Amino acid sequence: MPISYFLVLSAVLFGLGVVAFVFKRNIITIFMSIELMLNAVNLAFVAFARAHNQLEGQIFVFFVIVVAAAEAAVGLAIVILIARHRGTLNVERVDTLKH
């Protein structure tokens, strides 16, 4: 299979993630869209690694997964705190920096 298939799929997934990130209001959903974008990038890494017959891309994927796991841990902790303090998961209502 030519690499372009993988890349197109990766781009579509990334685009979906971006759109969801910008337009969704629920923090959890936004979080999931970040994961989606990260994994779209992972797919591109793996595809390039295979096409060029090199290992670095695959290794990089592991790093991304580790970072994503850490990010999920910290991020979910923040989400829980926001939910406790504000009683909502709507990002549009978490805008106290503005005032």
Partner 1 sequence: MLLLDYLWIIPLLPLAGAAANGIFGRRWPKKIVTGVALGSTTLALLSALEVAREFFGPAAARIPWTHSYFTWISAGGFRADFALQMDQLTLVMLLVVTGVGWLIHIYSIGYMADDAGYTRFFSFMNLFMFFMLVLILAANYLLMFVGWEGVGLCSYLLIGFFFLKQSATNAGNKAFWVNRIGDFGFLLGLFLMLRTFGSLDFAAVLPHVSEVAASPAGQAGWLTAIALLLFVGAVGKSAQLPLYVWLPDAMEGPTPVSALIHAATMVTAGVYMVARSHTIFLASPAAMQAVAVVGCVTAFFAATIGLVQTDIKKVLAYSTVSQLGYMFLGCGVGAFGAGIFHLMTHAFFKGLLFLAAGSVIHGMGGEQDMRRMGGLRKKIPWTFWTMLMATLAIAGAPGFSGFFSKDEILAATRDVSVPLWALGVLTAGLTSLYMFRLIFLAFFGTARYDERKTPVHESPRNMLAPLVVLAVLSVCGGWIAAPHLWGGANHFDDFLSPVLAGPSPAADVASAEPEGLLASLLGAPVIAGLLGFSLAWWLYIRRPKEPEKLAQSLSVPYKLLLGKYFVDELYDAVIVRPLVWISGFVLWHIVDEGAIDGTVNGVARAATESGDHLRYINSGNERSYAAWIVLGAVVFTTLLFWAVR
Question: Does 85 engage in binding with partner 1 (CB under 8 A)?
Answer: no
Q: How far apart are CA 5 and CA 74, in angstroms?
A: 34
Q: Which residue in 5, 23, 62, 63 binds partner 1 (CB under 8 A)?
A: 23
Question: Does 1 engage in binding with partner 1 (CB under 8 A)?
Answer: no
Q: How many CB atoms lie within 10 A of CB 65?
A: 13
CB-nearer residue toward partner 1: 18 or 51? 18
Asked if 89 and 83 count as a contact pair (C-beta separation under 8 A), the reply is: yes
- Which residues of the shown chain bind partner 1 in the complex (CB under 8 A)? 18, 21-23, 25, 30, 91-92, 94-99
